[in-house]
Amino acid sequence: MDNNVIKLLPNDWVTEEKLVELTGLRPGTIKRAREKSWLQGREYLHISPEGDPKPNSECMYNRNAIDRWVEGHTTRQPNATNRKKA
C-alpha cells in the first residue's frame, strides 16, 4: 500500500468557486464586497484568455488579501465588547 501524502495548496489567485470553498463566503457576499469594498488589482482581477479583460469578464480572487479583509472585521463586530487578555 502506498502511504504517500500529497498536500495541495491553492494558488494565491483563485476562482469564485474555490474562494467559496476556502472562505465560506457566499457568492452574494462576494459580489457585494467586489462592488462596495474590494479593490480591483488587490482583492480581485478580471481575466480573459485573450488578454483583454472586460468589466463582465470572469474574476479571479486573491485569497490572501480577502483573508486579511475578513480579519479586519474582527474589531468591527456588532455588540462586541472589549475583552481583556488573561
> What angle in degrees, to the nearest 10, is found between the helix axes of 16-23 and 27-36?
110
Residue 84 maps to a domain: no
In a domain, 8, yes or no: no
CATH code at 61?
1.10.1660.60
Tens digit of each residue's pLDDT (9 = 90 or more) over 27-50:
999 999 999 999 999 999 999 999
**CA separation for the pair 79, 2 (Å, rounded):** 52
pTM of the model: 0.78
Burial of 62 (0-12, 13-18, 19+ CB in 10 A): buried
The predicted model gives 22-27 an average pLDDT of 95
For residue 46, what are the domain limits? Answer: 13-69
Q: Tell me, yes or no, whether 54 lies in a domain.
A: yes
